[in-house]
Structure 1
């Protein structure tokens, strides 16, 4: 066997050895290809060239999965508009996928392609669901031929694989090789030829006939590192393919298969630290998409929190479970994805929301909604166990799914087909679960369904845990998601109270976090609220959603986590490279007056940097004079205002010096309402945030006490320990950093303290 690669017939070669910059050399034609990448010209963060990483030889190029790709113009004369034909074609490339795409419309996430399937022209090498991969060609005469990787030869995530595809038209065969070994072969008619795709460029890392999502995002893009892409106009023999693979091992890696460091391929949040709208002390994924955080649990001195995540890009699609860990619920570390869709009959199509609890050995377990579109219904409750008992890894990086769903919805269990978001807890008698659904009766509205188990694996349906009267409260909608039940303790009358949270969805639903305080009937596993009308924790509009909760075993506090929804278009989420973040953890408790108290957790004080201001008993004008030198977009503000003659009073934040941009947080005494006025928040023509948001806040003559957290686009306002108002602001002006107290009369500023805040990253 020859120990060097024979480059006869090499027609294209990208070595990706530049290691920096936004272009790369195709060495045969000596052409320079631009690398398309969203941050080459960035609007909200510092411009950056595409990320380069260690390759199998020199450097490799990391493609982000949604914006980065290469378009290479193939300079070839097309005679009289007729296509050229290829009797032989061989492709060899090193790839390290970071994600596996879902496979919308049956299309491949392209590694390299120049094809038009509708015209049965060209060729396409790419990946499909769960790491399967394929080489596809359009043959002369109009036939489209596909060869697929067999079971067991999928491309693993976060590892290097050497992929080869060989088309031999003369002999009539097409072959796939993985790491130098043949894994698949298909017969073709002898003397077949590939019909080249007329008028089509060659694309690397992007399907040149990709589907669009939200009219913005191109699906079927490769996410991961590519290195040493070679295309030949001849047939490479099995020996030559093996030599190409072995040569890299021998010359670069001491004869062993190349190893990839996780830090080389993981999503990197560094670039987004300078994004002027991305929160820096709120928990967030490293990049791309998240929706609700969920499944908080404490284990071996650390808090774990998971989240709905699309690692492919900043759009809602193919959901995984992301994972953070913290010692204080404030400073979080990114960990690898905990749960991903896999090639199984449990959850091949999505790992949706759920919760965490402990098994009989007090080890953490995850309950999740298993998405399987080939099943009916396509949602069931499933379980994953940590590998802690084997590896003693307190970060709980590895999880193993129980092979079968634990709870499968049957007719008569709520609304068939809407059955998700298990909330599970354990006590001395066993395990209990609430699952979000509807009543199953026409016009009866949403419901939380109840289940019980003695062994955590076999579950008994107990009926509806609670459902409200949708005729009285139509905004509670036909379906409830994300039910959460937390113990609140004993009230003044000696009754033990619980807190039930739900998130309504469906026709007519107000998608907010509603709650009731009431009593748990453990024998019947049902809930009786103290009052029928649901209440809101947060009076913003769709920025405090997706609840999850836990009892902190260290302090006994009841902690709620939420998603802080963004308020942006898909176009701006594409440009930014991220969508959404978590809200600050809040502690909820039963007040002396029977109402629900809410406070940000005290550990947030560890984020305080320099105190910028501290004043007491000042007039509005005196306080504003002292405020002139205080600016920032990462601040904590504590403020108490005595109304005096004012009927409306509050504070302007993120204010430009001339007031052209500003957001007003204020209380209306006559209406007993807390508001965020965003009519002047931004001049950016593409931003959506505008209008007035707010809701009821009964102060009963108390002074207005606001506890405000500003974190770039995040604004969280906690009022008198009773309500929060969460909203988003995206000022266009970089000098919109000022503060100004405001009132329609002469309120007294009883006290005000302001701190700069540290990033948690």
Structure 2
């Protein structure tokens, strides 16, 4: 056969040249297939069509990785096809993957398929872990045949690849082609025929038999751009495949392989900017899932912050390190994923939380928890270096992993199998690491390690462990230890703060802290008080701590995740899950307590000042508040309780009070509380009830510093405690404010600003 492309036998063809809209034409049958996409209809944001991008010819379709797919009815494949059409099948398609799927249950993220593996019917072309890919077919007679890409022929992320799969039953062969060349072949019995997958749709971008996660998310979805999908009922020759590849190169790219710009394929936050619940001045991924932000570091005039991220969709799975950069800790830029699981023996199954420090030359290094399910334990401490010294990468986009784990947990060191979230710092004597774990048969613990060269580490024993009998809520395992210097108290004694996150049976999953002294010689911590304290009393909305000493200002800064508090169904519909909390400055107060304040740089987000009042009664203040509405506000409020045993402010209030959220202080109980019993009328939202915790304010007025940012509410009380919570009103007019109290009170002062988006 010559190199001329013969479209004889072409039974299906999607050119993806529409460039807009929610349909893709199958050219042979002239059927317009619907493109399934989460925002075709949208409850919380503006509806929009699937995302189209530049293709290898014309446009291509961007698959978001969790909701985008096409179903083509089987009856429309080719109703006039002769039976011998089942003796051969060829598929050709251009793909630019954005992410790789983890491969749960050994299933492929389908590019195109119409198969039933259990019945050994049909065909499946798809991707697997770390870019490997496969063509699989069911043969009449009950055989399931799989042909896999060999080592070194994985499909690269963010690049176009031309993929072909050919089944030739007459010749007894199946073949894989990459960019026009054969890379693998296998024999099948001569005269083999494909077994038709009866009652099965042809799906593009979604596996016919995908696994459901959390009863909502279909795994095994393709993520990236697809173009020029052709299916033939005959076996294309090697020359035809090569010519097909060369035709695209010659016609549009002057003989070079087509390129994908990162801006075209990256996760796009634009469809989410109009989401009425998504925070606009809190840091967040462009889309999809995050949990804790971590590894803050300052370098070359910029702050870097990383985060636990699933780029495939808004669900917890196959974790990567996302990356932001900022010049002011307020306005952040999205950068490419910094660390991803790779096909290695270090961290093939996940890049879990960690921290950042500097090497001996002052260059940034990342310490992370390496997930490797083939090892025991399946978590170890690993290192990645910036390529800054080699290529001057100003945004620290590129990182190289050290090939071996730095610290592997041995039996007898902590609770075996729980060993994660290294917190590393450096001083003039070397490097020190705390690792979250527990004590066998006991409670949670932070384990201490030391190193003189950053690569070889020595175990020094438990840094600190609490009495789980006395404080059972501190749980059997601690995660995310953070250790920061607070300076000297009034007696000149040097103090530090240790933060931990308990998990496991009986644990209260909040951020607890102790103030105490650091025994550097013994590498241990001696708390001033046995009982831990909470920074935040908002009930699992302020979690996942990380921290740094800011070299620019000397401040201790804490970062957290603000949990979304929503169902998986709503996270699917919304396309995002969670965001970061506002950066906090923590310090030692004159009275020896831990002070907490939002960083001053947040004032740069203030827009119009909506209100400024002094010395008003409750009724007078509420008259002035009637015209102040908003879901992106900063509020500073001081209340003198007077005869009111409880006082505070209602936020996100509908005009008739059907929906409202009450932040208040109970003077007699010394409690800072939020009442969410009327927060939402939406039947799917979870936020409800009353949450809060202790706040001692002997003789002080209540001073609240409140940040409203769509669904985010953060209230800082008297520089001592925060209360972080979530609100998802069902009504779009739930934007009002109202001072509230159970008796006569005085609004000493109140100031309100509109806040601007950082995006």
So what's the TM-score if we normalise by structure 1?
0.99
Distance 1:736 1:382 in 2: 47
Aligned to 2:523: 525
Distance 1:85 1:187 in 2: 19
Cα deviation, residue 74, structure 1: 2.1
Kindly indicate whether the alpha-carbon contact (under 8 Å) linking 1:84 and 1:196 is maintained by their aligned counterparts in 2. no
Cα deviation, residue 5, structure 1: 2.3
| 1:662-681 equivalences in 2 (<5 Å) | 662-681=660-679
Kindly indicate whether the alpha-carbon contact (under 8 Å) linking 2:11 and 2:77 is maintained by their aligned counterparts in 1. no
Secondary structure of the corresponding residue to residue 446 of structure 2? strand
Distance 1:298 1:499 in 2: 21
| 1:504-653 equivalences in 2 (<5 Å) | 504-653=502-651
1:8 matched to 2:5: no
Distance 2:530 2:375 in 1: 37
Cα deviation, residue 530, structure 1: 0.1
| 1:653-732 equivalences in 2 (<5 Å) | 653-732=651-730
Aligned to 1:32: 32
Distance 2:88 2:712 in 1: 57
Kindly indicate whether the alpha-carbon contact (under 8 Å) linking 1:640 and 1:706 is maintained by their aligned counterparts in 2. yes
Aligned to 1:757: 755
Distance 1:568 1:375 in 2: 34
Aligned to 1:311: 311
Aligned to 1:234: 234
Aligned to 1:734: 732
Secondary structure of the corresponding residue to residue 408 of structure 1? coil
Kindly indicate whether the alpha-carbon contact (under 8 Å) linking 1:644 and 1:747 is maintained by their aligned counterparts in 2. yes
State the Cα deviation string for residues 281-315 of structure 1 (Å, max 9, x = none).
00000000000000000000000000000000000
State the Cα deviation string for residues 481-538 of structure 1 (Å, max 9, x = none).
0000000000011110000000000000000000000000001100000000000000
Aligned to 1:326: 326
Cα deviation, residue 439, structure 1: 1.0
Aligned to 1:187: 187
Aligned to 2:454: 456
Q: 1:23 to 1:77 in 2, by over 3 A?
A: closer
Cα deviation, residue 175, structure 1: 0.3
Aligned to 2:22: 22
Can you give the 5+ residue segments of structure 2 that lack an aligned partner in the other structure? none
Distance 1:203 1:178 in 2: 22
Kindly indicate whether the alpha-carbon contact (under 8 Å) linking 2:481 and 2:498 is maintained by their aligned counterparts in 1. yes
Aligned to 1:485: 483
Kindly indicate whether the alpha-carbon contact (under 8 Å) linking 1:83 and 1:196 is maintained by their aligned counterparts in 2. no
So what's the TM-score if we normalise by structure 2?
0.99
State the Cα deviation string for residues 531-583 of structure 1 (Å, max 9, x = none).
00000000000000000000000110000000000110000000000000000
Cα deviation, residue 83, structure 1: 9.6
Secondary structure of the corresponding residue to residue 40 of structure 1? coil
Q: 1:179 to 1:604 in 2, by over 3 A?
A: same
Kindly indicate whether the alpha-carbon contact (under 8 Å) linking 1:78 and 1:84 is maintained by their aligned counterparts in 2. no
Distance 1:24 1:746 in 2: 65
State the Cα deviation string for residues 396-438 of structure 1 (Å, max 9, x = none).
0000000000000000110110000000000000000000000
Can you give the 5+ residue segments of structure 1 that lack an aligned partner in the other structure? none
Corresponding residue pairs, total: 757
Distance 1:110 1:41 in 2: 24
Distance 1:351 1:85 in 2: 46
Kindly indicate whether the alpha-carbon contact (under 8 Å) linking 1:33 and 1:72 is maintained by their aligned counterparts in 2. yes
| 1:436-455 equivalences in 2 (<5 Å) | 436-440=436-440, 442=441, 444-455=442-453
Kindly indicate whether the alpha-carbon contact (under 8 Å) linking 1:130 and 1:342 is maintained by their aligned counterparts in 2. yes
Kindly indicate whether the alpha-carbon contact (under 8 Å) linking 1:445 and 1:478 is maintained by their aligned counterparts in 2. yes
Aligned to 2:745: 747
Aligned to 2:398: 398
Distance 2:83 2:385 in 1: 55
Kindly indicate whether the alpha-carbon contact (under 8 Å) linking 2:85 and 2:234 is maintained by their aligned counterparts in 1. no
Kindly indicate whether the alpha-carbon contact (under 8 Å) linking 2:12 and 2:77 is maintained by their aligned counterparts in 1. no
Task: Name which of 501, 509, 519 aligns with 1:503.
Answer: 501
Aligned to 1:172: 172
Kindly indicate whether the alpha-carbon contact (under 8 Å) linking 2:511 and 2:544 is maintained by their aligned counterparts in 1. yes
Secondary structure of the corresponding residue to residue 38 of structure 1? coil
Secondary structure of the corresponding residue to residue 291 of structure 1? strand
Distance 2:278 2:4 in 1: 50
Structure 1 consecutive aligned stretches of length 4 or more whose deviation exceeds 6 Å: 76-79, 82-85
Kindly indicate whether the alpha-carbon contact (under 8 Å) linking 1:19 and 1:53 is maintained by their aligned counterparts in 2. yes
